Amino acid sequence: MVTSEAAPFAKTGGLADVLGSLPPALVEKGEEVAVVLPAYDAIDLRGAERIYNELPVWMDGARYDCSIERFMRHGVHYLFVTCPALYGRPGIYGDQRGDFGDNPVRFAVLCRAALGVASRIFRPDVIHCHDWQASLVPVYLKSTFRHDPVFYGIKTLLTIHNLGYQGRYSASVLRDIAVPIPEVMHPEGIEYFGDVNYLKGGIVYSDYITTVSPRYAQEIQTPEFGFGLDALLRSRRFFLAGILNGVDYDEWNPEDDRYLPNHYSAKDLAGKLACKKALLEEFNMPVDALDTRPLLGIVSRFAHQKGLDLVAECIQGIADLGVQMVVLGSGDAQLERTFGDIARARPEQFAFRGGYNEGLAHRIEAGSDMFIMPSRYEPCGLNQIYSLKYGTVPVVRATGGLDDTVTGDTGFKFFASTAHDLYNCIRYATMQFADREAWETRMRLGMAEDFSWAVSATRYMELYRRLRQAAL
């Protein structure tokens, strides 16, 4: 596998969770898996072993000196590409000033280094590429290395975790990434309206494409969700499938979650109320009506995709319902200010914490009664799956993986991406909360759902098998 993130080493979102838990699930079922990712500065490489000293990547005139460190985790070879010139700095994709300007080169070199690994260190049958950062692997394989016998027989699979991020750059990057320009820089290749589009290259040149839920696989073939690539995806629809992400219940289980002050299960829910009380106290909020006043939780990147501006838009209505709400998230600065202002205006009802905080994310999942995800689109979404496990009833927009994982029995769904519909859904859920018995039934149904990797890993293995046999 080739990726820009993998938990617990480097994480900004769900992609990392998948790369932290799918590979071990595959190993458990008998596959041999190596995961290639950059050795970002922030990764603690103590305990890793230098297994390859000189793996230079040539990009036309430039030479990038890479070496490979290996860290074994749950039987998976995590192979870190060390290249201080490109990865030796704080941040995965950027810093306070925005995305790094050399990202197109950083991830082109990742792809070339991964091919170096494939030829010299770990010989794969299938290279499974994740998102745009790994999308040049099939491009190089089908162009630069098309006649290189070292790679004969290797198949490529691209998984799209989020079509909204495509790695689109001006054509001027072409001189830095060493692709054979006449061969690939055209509308049937990596060109997109005069620019270079990495993800498009992955979609065109990989042998098969998956995305992270069946519903999202359908949605991305429509103009509404296709981000300009829907026609291309429709043309590849016989080589496109959705495989739902699993989650790692070793990390996310209210029965033994190391971040929680109390534990609980579907059989004994008492600990959940204690978690709610502790969470409210953590934010100095009143704990006088634990049984009757619902606590709404949000943990999210603050990106337009996540629809949190809709929450801000109907916050007055939410306040008037008398509920409490705890929000953890970072990203859009304007939205961070808005939630900060809301919390300052009504500290007994609303709390906001910026930044990234793993422990608090777990405590919000456990302590809340409902979890709000009003995403405009959601390829799979993990938080609503964690919520189900934690007996925290999800209130979600019926899109992508949210629609595939939440049912009318386990949560609440709304359809139009508007503050009005979101508000009505929250209001309806709040009314249902008053019937404690029915609510607990709903919680238990959610807690009984199983989204562990066992099923999805088997589906990937079936796909790898078909790719190996070229029976596609």
Smallest separation (angstroms) from ligand ADP to the CB of 339: 12
Residue with Cβ nearer ligand ADP (123 or 301) = 301
Tokens of 272: 């959940």
Smallest separation (angstroms) from ligand ADP to the CB of 290: 24
Tell me the residue type at 382: L
Rounded to an integer, what distance in angstroms lies between the CA atom of residue 93 and that of residue 100?
6
Residue with Cβ nearer ligand ADP (52 or 371) = 371
Residue with Cβ nearer ligand ADP (100 or 356) = 356
* Residue 395: strand pairing partners: 372, 412
Residue with Cβ nearer ligand ADP (82 or 383) = 383
Residue with Cβ nearer ligand ADP (162 or 197) = 162
Smallest separation (angstroms) from ligand ADP to the CB of 167: 16
Residue with Cβ nearer ligand ADP (71 or 339) = 339
Residue with Cβ nearer ligand ADP (64 or 339) = 339
Residue with CB nearest ligand ADP? Answer: 14
Residue with Cβ nearer ligand ADP (233 or 380) = 380
Smallest separation (angstroms) from ligand ADP to the CB of 338: 16
Smallest separation (angstroms) from ligand ADP to the CB of 212: 8
Q: How far is CA 230 from the centre of its chain?
A: 21
Sign of the dihedral through C-alpha 158, 164, 169, 170: positive
Residue with Cβ nearer ligand ADP (145 or 259) = 259
Closest by Cα among 217, 238, 163, 224 to 404: 217
Interface residue list for ligand ADP (CB under 6 A)? 13-14, 17, 299-301, 328-330, 356-358, 361, 380-383
Rounded to an integer, what distance in angstroms lies between the CA atom of residue 446 and that of residue 386?
10
Smallest separation (angstroms) from ligand ADP to the CB of 355: 6
Residue with Cβ nearer ligand ADP (109 or 335) = 335
Helix-helix angle 453-468:14-28, to 10 degrees: 70
Smallest separation (angstroms) from ligand ADP to the CB of 440: 25
Cα distances (angstroms) measured from residue 269 to each of 179, 265, 275: 57, 6, 10
- List phi, psi (to 5°) of 316: -65, -45
The SS3 of residue 92 is coil
What 8-state DSSP symbol labels residue 343? H
Q: How far is CA 17 from the centre of its chain?
A: 7
Residue with Cβ nearer ligand ADP (283 or 356) = 356
Rounded to an integer, what distance in angstroms lies between the CA atom of residue 385 and that of residue 373?
11
Which region, left, alpha or beta, applies to residue 371 given φ > 0 means left and ψ of -120 to 50 means alpha? beta
Smallest separation (angstroms) from ligand ADP to the CB of 207: 25
Smallest separation (angstroms) from ligand ADP to the CB of 393: 17
Closest by Cα among 130, 111, 101, 82 to 179: 111
Tokens of 12: 């900004």
| Contacts for 62-68: CB closer than 8 Å, 24+ residues apart | 62/176, 64/109, 66/109, 66/113, 66/116, 68/113, 68/117, 68/121
Tell me the residue type at 365: E
CA angle 18, 470, 129 (to 5 degrees): 25
Rounded to an integer, what distance in angstroms lies between the CA atom of residue 328 and that of residue 282?
13
The SS3 of residue 442 is helix
Smallest separation (angstroms) from ligand ADP to the CB of 252: 8
Rounded to an integer, what distance in angstroms lies between the CA atom of residue 197 and that of residue 136?
10
Smallest separation (angstroms) from ligand ADP to the CB of 7: 8
